[in-house]
Amino acid sequence: MTSIKLQPLDHTLLPAALQLDHLCFGGLWTLDGYQRELESPNSDLLAIVPAPSTPDEEAVVITDITEERSEFLVNPKVNPKANLSTSRPRATSATPSAASDPLLGLGCYWAILDEAHITILGIHPDYQRRGLGHLMLCALLDRARQRDMARATLEVRISNQSALLLYQKFGFQIAGQRKGYYTDTGEDALILWRGKLQSTEFGTLLTTQWTEIHHRLTHHHWSLQLGLELLIAENSTLTYP
């Protein structure tokens, strides 16, 4: 069983965040940029990291939604396919190495008035298609709901159909299109919106998705631990199914 942990990003993970940013996005944000995000009261950053598995640690096991879905879901103006080619060999084992891969996934949203703008969602290239992107999206939306956000929005490449399928599972709808938004290819971006985050219906949807993630990750032998900061929120859906 591969043990991983979902937790808020902290300063100790900044170098790893920069490395993952380079692998996933080709260097979207700088170290100073991540530092500012951590210090901003309007930003919420989450991380998926390797975690030691010990007998006295409670864990919930979670897995992949589908073997075909892209894990590079949100990446402003960067071609995700261009970032898959690196000098680092791809992993042949499902077990992350804490030494070589201190950060497996990263997500961020900005709280702008009552709107959560998801700005980054990336999973390490060696650990794609194992449900971690689905896990991160669910966690970001749960955090936005805890923060009393009413809506969520993001941009996604018009060609990224696998990402669109995942967003649609959470009720996102196409609200518009930005022409030539991605400067590397000139590709258009679709603007996605999801309203009524505070509704009972959305809370039920998050619970349903969380249970699906749990069963799929269990099937793929991922053991997920939740950071204490995520468990203490009274209105969080990130509970043990």
* Domain contains 73: yes
- Identify the residue with better confidence: 17 or 100: 17
* Domain contains 241: no
- Identify the residue with better confidence: 202 or 221: 202
* Domain contains 237: no
Rounded CA gap, 131 and 123, in Å? 10
Half-sphere exposure of 223 (CA within 13 A, CB side): 13
Number of domains in the chain: 1
Q: Which of 71, 155, 181, 212 is catalytic?
A: 155
- Identify the residue with better confidence: 74 or 189: 189
34 pLDDT higher than 60: yes
- Identify the residue with better confidence: 228 or 46: 46
What's the confidence (pLDDT) of residue 74? 52
59 pLDDT higher than 60: no
**To which residue do tokens 């959470």 refer?**
170
Rounded CA gap, 26 and 72, in Å? 12
What's the confidence (pLDDT) of residue 219? 83
* Domain contains 240: no
Provide DSSP, the chain.
-EEEEEEE--GGGHHHHHHHHHHHHSS-S-HHHHHHHHH-TTEEEEEEEE----TTS--EE---S-TT--S--B-TT--GGGGS--SSPPPSSS---TTT-S-SEEEEEEEETTEEEEEEEEE-GGG-SSSHHHHHHHHHHHHHHHTT--EEEEEEETT-HHHHHHHHHTT-EEEEEEEEEETTTTEEEEEEEE--TTSHHHHHHHHHHHHHHHHHHHHTTEEEEE-HHHHS-TT---S--
* Domain contains 47: yes
- 37 counts as catalytic: no
Q: Which of 34, 109, 167, 182 is catalytic?
A: 167
What's the confidence (pLDDT) of residue 119? 96
* Domain contains 40: yes
Arithmetic mean of pLDDT over the chain: 81
- What percent of the chain has pLDDT above 70? 74
* Domain of 185, in residue numbers: 2-231
CB 238 within 8 A of CB 232: no
Average pLDDT estimate for 151-179: 94
* Domain contains 224: yes
Rounded CA gap, 123 and 130, in Å? 10
* Domain contains 236: no
- 240 counts as catalytic: no
CATH classification at residue 54: 3.40.630.30
Instruction: Please state, as a whole number, how many other Cβ atoms lie within 10 Å of the Cβ of residue 205.
Output: 18
Average pLDDT estimate for 168-196: 93
